[in-house]
Amino acid sequence: MTPLELLWNGWRATYVQSGGAAGGVHPDDTLSVFTRILQSGLPDDETHIVHRGPLTFVIMNAFPYAVGHMLVLPYREISSLEDLTDDERIELWCVVTEAVRVLKAVMRPGGVNVGLNLGEPAGGSVRQHLHVHVVPRWNGDSNFMTATANTRTLPEALPATAAKLREAWPSDTPAP
């Protein structure tokens, strides 16, 4: 019998303890983790916010599927696409497109996954605050690790990746 191989998966404990398993809502609050980050007053480099637009923002996923995994969100805490205003919808998809462009320039992935998980049955971990995942992918990447070992391999620290993406973001985008 082959002994079980163990890989350190330290990020998972933080995720579970932070309320990730409870829909991303703090036990003492009804606000999403994203709204709490926005209201924290902390600088963007500490919160891993990569870009701020008038109606939307981009933040690094603290529990990424791959290095460079970004989330694009409206500032307004809403849960469904149909609740977006026309202006939010237009800006959201323009920013998603820009996030893909920046990701390709900085990370040089072979492909990119873009998607939403709307509602708990769809896998939405922070279901009350709509967010679009932008995830770089490479041929032969190690996604099998998540399925087989509940582990993700990330070769770069989140702050380093956020700084690269923030630096590559066009400066001509209007600030909020």
The radius of gyration of the chain's CA atoms, rounded to the nearest angstrom, is: 16
Respond yes or no: is residue 48 known to be catalytic. no
DSSP run (H or E) holding 159: helix 158-168
What H or E segment, with its residue span, contains residue 36? helix 33-39
Which of the residues 48, 51, 131, 133 is marked catalytic?
131
Cα separation values, 54 from 28, 62, 76, Å: 29, 23, 11
The tokens of 123 are what?
A: 């896998």
Task: Show which residues are catalytic.
Answer: 131
